[in-house]
Each structure stands twice: as structure tokens, then as C-alpha cells.
Chains A and B, each alone.
Chain A
């Protein structure tokens, strides 16, 4: 029995890593578009938006030495948001052109397709976060909690990213066409950014906006990442504890939804 399980496990690892490598191969081929669409916009936010508001932003309101160091946490989590929400796109194309059916006609565990996507999106997101933090470092943003803090940032980012990617996949398996998918995506992403503490703290917002922002998982995540960069462990730890619990619930809900959507889609 143990032997059979071992074999099943080996098969599972083999299929998941092959499917993950497929995404890596594709990334290598599409590297230009990947570079320009994923890494750059986020750096633009950090560098241009950060510099533009360097003087306009009041550092007392921001509770930060300068605007860019305040914004860094926001840009990190925006990266997670964008990657997560578009994480299902490739599965959507697979569904539309029949590749998904080809995969599902093979003796693989149904979850492998999805797990491979999680692994890939999380890895790419983590790499991008490291790029952003490196660039920020050269602009004088030195994370207060050091390398260990950065590791925790990545962990929190993944925790949030898993839920978002699951949400994106649920949408991919539900929508009728990819046009629908992209219009929902375009509609969601900006309000989620503006109605969060990514660009200004809640205390600086009009009341109605800060009310809404309080319910935004973006806000929870940013509020845990920001003290890791700005202040230090003593302020960060309670928030981390809080966000981990909230995100676990968020992830559970999103995963439940995507599993249902997936089951329905594959009949």
C-alpha cells in the first residue's frame, strides 16, 4: 500500500513539474511581452508615481520618511494583485483552444493543471517582488526588518496571491469568452487599488473611501507589508498575525469557488 502511494506521489510530481515547465517554456518564448507587461508597469508606479508625489505627499500624513518608501509596500501588493487576477488567463486560452481537453484526456490528477499554475504564478510574482524591492533599495528604501522581513513579505504576498489566482481561475472557467474575462479584469483592478492603502493611508482618505477600503483584502495585506519595510518587527508582528488569519479565510473561499467552477467546467 505504501509502495502504491509512493508511486502515485512520484507520478503526481512528474506531471505537476512537466506542466509547470510548460509555463516556463512559454515565458522564455514570450519574454519581451512578459518583461514589458508585468515587470515594467509596476516599476513605473514605483519610480514615476513615487517621484511625482515625493514633494506633494505630506510625510506626516504618510507616516514615512518619504513617499517612495511609503509606496513600496503598495507597489509590491499591486504586483501580487495584477499577477493573481491575470493568473487564470492562460488556462482560459487552454480551455478555448482545446488544449485543456487534450491534457484532461491523459491519466493525470485533475488538480495538477491548477497546481502547476499556482506554482508558476507564485514563483514569478516572488521574483518580481524581489526586483521591485531591489530597485526601491537603490532609491533609498531600506527594509527595516532586513532579509528575514523580505522573506515574510514574499510569504504574505503568496498567501494573498493564491486566493487571487484561484479567483481568476474560477472566472476563467466560468466566463463565456475571453472578452468577458478581460472586461471584468479591467473593471476590478483599479478600484481595488484606489480603494486600498496602496497610494495613501486610510486616515488621509475621504470617509466614504476609507470605509470601503477597510473591507479590501488589498488593505489588509498592504498594512502588514508596510511596517515590515518602514518600521520594524514590533509594529509588524500583530498585523502579520491578523492578515494571515484573514487571508487564510480569503484563500479558502476563493479555492472553494474555483474548485466548483473547475468541476462544472470539466463536466
Chain B
């Protein structure tokens, strides 16, 4: 395909004292794609991002941004990147415009160029009206827009976003997604961390699932889901027949078009080759075992299923649905 490598890491590792934050992290990001680092809190996503941003030195391994090593040539890297931090890293006592003017000077832009970019970016993130108000009067969504504007001011080749929609309401989330897609259209490479499955699924061209400081899976959401093999049929067993779940699971193992079976307290999740063939067999088996089914759900594999299959646990313990 001859795609340009925007970012490359090779056996990247970072330890804080005895604690290994990341280990053996190797991946590539292509120019112009939206690349996601998906994982639960503490998985090592932010550490990875901070190394790429030249804010942390890796304990081992290498990382380059457009061929420039983040440790050897940090200044070259800094000129290519924009950063949207996770915290609302905003100076409450400055206006939105003052934030952008400050950054213009820190990127050593001439004044008229800074002003031109500020006009353009404020329009893009839809913050023109409030640009001259103090940041402490901004809502969460507006602060996020300002964050994004700050990240875009250097006209970066790569934009790093740390949990871009954390804690935002649905409206603001969708709007931020929309901005990110527009950046991609402008040819900007986007690298983002997220612990929202739906965000990774809808937004990212490719993603790395990170857990415990290691990459567990890497690919496009579609590839990852296809790699899981087959669709998922979820059976919910009636309360009276709970004790039959095990025997039903055992008898299903003989069905040829079934690839994997996992039991849960209320029923069984079955990954099937083709639902048309598997479904009658499943119903037959349930009938034979005299196991009454309360609910049958069928769906294509979701990123959630990929995550559980790759890491052995859900991304969050209690599952506040991201949809």
C-alpha cells in the first residue's frame, strides 16, 4: 500500500520504580488515520501517550514520530504534534483567545499567522462567541473545545487526544467525534486514548487494545470483531431451569457450527459460525434438555466481546453502557 508511517514504537517500556506501566509495546500508526489506544484506567494508555509527547522518557525501547526519535530529537517531535490533555488543563484566569495567543508564541509563530489561525480554529470548534470570556466561565463542553483548539493551533501533523470525551454529555461527545473526523479529512493523523468501547468502535480506523501495560490485540474494529469468529447468540434461561444450564452447555458442544460457549449465571453466550445453521440446533438441544428459554438474543460480535475475549475481563466492572 506504501502508506507512510507516522508513529512507530519498538518494544517500548516504562517503569515507575518497581511498577511496570507498559512493557514491550510495539505498534505503528499510519499517516492520516485515527488510531485508538483502548483500555481500562491504569492500562498504560496515558503513559504511552506521554512518551510519544516527549513528556516521559521510556525506560527501554524506542518511539519515533515521522522518523524523529522522541528521546533524541524531542524538539523536532514537538514541532510536529499537538496535544489535547485529559485534565481540563486550562488557565481559569485567561480567556480562550489568550490561551491561543500564548501557544502561538510558544510555537514561535509570527503574530499575524497566529491571529489567522486563531480565527480559523475558533470557527472550526465553534467557540467564536465566547473567545474573549474568561475560561472559568466555560462549561465542560466549551473547555473541551478550547482544549481541542489549543491542540490544533500548531497546525500539527499528529494530534494526540487523551480521553477526548471523558465526562462529557452525549451531545458534546457526538460533536467532538464530528470534529475529530473533520481533522482526519484535513489529513491530520489522530492518536487518541479512550476507555469507551463505542468511541473506539465508531471513531477509530485502527486500535490497540491495551491491558496491564501490554498490547492484547491490534487492528481495525471490523478486523478485530471478524477475528473473533462468528456471531453471538445469547440465551437467557428461565429462573426455574437454572440448574439445566450446565447440561445444556454440554450438549451444545456437539453441535458442529458452534465455535465457543461461555456460561454465565443467567444463561449461555454462544459464538456461532452461521446463525442459520446453529439456531435450530440450539433450540433442539434446549427442547431435549427440557430447558425453557426466556430470551434469545442474536448479535454480530461487538468490540465488547473482543475486549473480553482478549483480556479475560470487561473494560469496566459495572457496565454503564456507553451507547
Contacts and interface: CB of A to CB of B under 8 A. Distances in A.
Interface of A: 11, 14-15, 17-19, 21-22, 25-26, 29-30, 97-99, 101-108, 266-267
A17 B106 CA distance: 10
A251 B54 CA distance: 30
A22 B87 contact: no
A104 B55 contact: yes
Query: Do most interface residues of chain A lie in helix, strand or loop, or is the interface mixed?
Result: helix
B89 A15 contact: no
A197 to B, nearest CB: 38
A106 B98 contact: no
A18 B105 contact: yes
A22 B102 contact: yes
A107 B79 contact: yes
Given A18-B102, A25-B98, A107-B78, A102 B89 contact: yes
The size bracket of the interface on B is 20 to 34
B154 interface: yes
B93 A102 contact: no
Interface string B98-117: 10011101111000000000
B154 A106 contact: yes
A99 to B, nearest CB: 5
B85 to A, nearest CB: 5
A147 to B, nearest CB: 35
Contacts of B88: 97-98
B150 interface: yes
Contacts of B150: 102
Residue of B91, B94, B150, B154 with most chain A CB atoms under a 10 A cut-off: B91
A30 B93 contact: yes
Interface string B67-83: 00000000100110101
Given A14-B105, A18-B101, 11 more contacts: A15-B105, A18-B105, A22-B94, A29-B134, A98-B88, A99-B90, A101-B55, A102-B85, A103-B106, A106-B78, A107-B107
A101 B85 contact: yes
Contacts of A17: 105
16 contacts: A14-B108, A19-B106, A25-B98, A26-B91, A98-B85, A98-B87, A99-B90, A99-B91, A101-B50, A101-B89, A102-B83, A102-B85, A102-B89, A107-B75, A267-B50, A267-B56
A138 B91 CA distance: 39
A26 B56 contact: no
Given A105-B78, A266-B55, A267-B55, A22 B91 contact: yes
Nearest to A28: B93
B87 A105 contact: no
B93 A26 contact: yes
B152 interface: no
A15 B108 CA distance: 7
Contacts of B89: 97-99, 101-102
A148 to B, nearest CB: 36
B53 interface: yes
B234 interface: no
Contacts of A107: 75, 78-79, 106-108
B47 to A, nearest CB: 10
B57 interface: yes
B86 interface: yes
Residue of A15, A104, A106, A108 with most chain B CB atoms under a 10 A cut-off: A106
A11 B134 contact: no
A95 to B, nearest CB: 11
A19 B101 CA distance: 11
Interface in B24-61: 50, 53-57
Nearest to B107: A106
B22 to A, nearest CB: 14
Contacts of A11: 108
A102 B154 CA distance: 12
B53 A105 contact: yes
B103 to A, nearest CB: 7
Given A25-B94, A26-B93, A29-B93, A105 B55 contact: yes
A22 B89 CA distance: 15
A21 B106 CA distance: 12
Given A25-B94, A26-B94, A98-B86, A105 B54 contact: yes
Closest 7 CB pairs of A and B: A18-B105, A98-B89, A98-B87, A107-B78, A106-B106, A105-B83, A29-B93
